Structure 1
């Protein structure tokens, strides 16, 4: 086997551990979401848990990026994976002692998120360590298959397990996945040297270098800003899909729908993994985002299982094309020596949209849009005649609005010359 093939083989071994870990994380996410909704009856409570599971990892990602460029990236992945399990263990102990309260779940997911922050920058930078530029898009397809596991495989397994057991079993399975991911990471670590800076610098200096890598090319910076806008709109469907479906169905239907919808990501990720896409990444980004927005709008239109399943499938099918285009355009315009810092800052800036969505979606749904579309609500006799009325229709309207705005954002992206210049790395850069 040639060197490139051997490197890709190591990547696949590392990826297999992350694939299993993603399944475990998906089990916990699905189980805790239903647990909190049943306990509180509030979408805003579930959104709070989602926010606390996400925001600490996001805010700490710049520090994690510096560590990924300074220290052994595979060792950081092991530490992050193992220490993040402590938060889940805390929630499990609370549940076994009579049931976890909302504040206890919030503490547990926050602790888990803090240590999980070590994982993503180190993992992405390790991929760059391992592979050649020609292998990036293929690797991106595989990475997205692993990412889709929490939506494709986990809901189906969780739905079946919850029919015969409680959420505690899902937490136990997630905790145990560490014993699979750690050996895979350590095996890959052997014989692989991180491509990092030879002279460690002060953290603040390394932050500055990471920021310079992101802002030094105008197209990269604008793309990151536009990605934050995109994640804001996508965050609404991530927050509201579960309570919207549960408003007229049950957890079994929810789990089945999530599996059907996420299969779109699996299909398109497999296609991307099998192909070598080498051009037209900006066009692919704009078209996939436009179609994603229309799919989101259709998702919230009616309380119809078939329509929700089909539109959700199309939405997930578009995401790998969007992510692959973003990944390639950024990765090929940033020097490898600062990739850890750059990816962490990109994650911080681009995913602020999710934070804003998680903070707003539940509150808007519970206190503004749901009252508008229940029987006798202000919009019941107007908008309600089109999309229906009931406890889940306000969330549906919010999702429709988010989808249409996402499609509008994709049109703006397709017209920005600075983003088109990223496909020609000889284009102009910002100078200090």
Structure 2
């Protein structure tokens, strides 16, 4: 359970940081109207995910399914940061939050069936702390780093223009774009490590449901 908690907490931390940076990222290269459409895609993604979970009983292998969904979230984060096309960012944002909604519901059932009820408060509080930690990290680390360090390096004449700039592009907003790509790929890496850990993937078979 500890291994699953660690990878889910890290995924939540990275995801919360990305959520916080979405608005300044879009506004760095597009209009407030575009941000409005992309924000609508956030709500639509959540709504679609909730609708899916309301009519579907969920995956049989819930831990593996959770990891797969969170990998998809990481890939969507990388796509959001890589692209500067509003329609593609909107589509990626929709899928991102759809998968977030589904993965949250999936992992919640794992905690509720595998963790004794007298520990629920502590476990859920720690999960919430990881999300809050992601917001703090985004505010204090990722946003200033993107603006003051990465953004100048990814300008047309910046030091990274001919290296990373060929992948994520150069110009306004590319620093935040790089942060989205980096956090997304780091998220995928963390989840791959979790997926490769046999005790995590076999948790549902090895650990009985609580009474």
Q: What TM-score, normalized to structure 1?
A: 0.45
Residue 425 (structure 1) shift: 6.3
1:377 is paired with a residue of what secondary structure? coil
Structure 1: unaligned runs, 5 residues or longer? 1-218, 428-432
CA distance in 2, matches of 1:349, 1:406: 14
Per the alignment, residue 200 of structure 2 pairs with 419
C-alpha spacing 1:406/1:426, structure 2 compared with 1 (3 Å)? closer
The answer for the alignment partner of 2:30 in structure 1 is: 249
Distance 1:399 1:373 in 2: 14
Offset at residue 237 of structure 1 (A):
1.8
2:109 alignment partner, one of 328, 337, 354 = 328
2:95 aligned with 1:290, yes or no? no
1:47-85 per-position Cα deviation (integer Å, ceiling 9, x unaligned): xxxxxxxxxxxxxxxxxxxxxxxxxxxxxxxxxxxxxxx
RMSD: 2.1
Q: Cα offset for 1:338?
A: 4.0
8 Å contact kept, 2:154–2:165: yes
Please state how far the C-alpha of 1:323 moved relative to its aligned partner. Answer: 0.7
2:177 alignment partner, one of 396, 399, 402: 396
Deviation by residue 1:232-255 (Cα, 9 ceiling, x = unmatched): 322332132111110122222101
* Structure 2 residue 86 is the aligned partner of structure 1 residue 305: yes
Superposition deviation, residue 278 in structure 1: 5.9
CA distance, structure 1, for counterparts of residue 9 and residue 136 of structure 2: 10
Q: Corresponding residue for 2:53? A: 272
Instruction: State the distance in 2 between where 1:345 and 1:261 align.
Output: 25
Count of matched residue pairs: 208
| Cα distance, 1:398–1:338 mapped onto 2, change above 3 Å | closer
* 1:334/1:370 CA distance change after superposition, 3 Å: same
TM-score by length of 2: 0.87
For residues 356 and 408 of structure 1, the distance between their equivalents in structure 2, rounded to whole angstroms, comes to 19
The answer to whether the 8 Å contact 1:374/1:380 transfers is: yes
Alignment gaps of 5+ in structure 2: none
Compare relative contact order (CA 8 Å, sep 6+) and give the higher one, 1 or 2: 2
Structure ID, larger Rg? 1
Post-superposition offset of 1:324: 1.7
- Alpha-carbon distance in structure 2 between the residues aligned to 1:278 and 1:298: 26
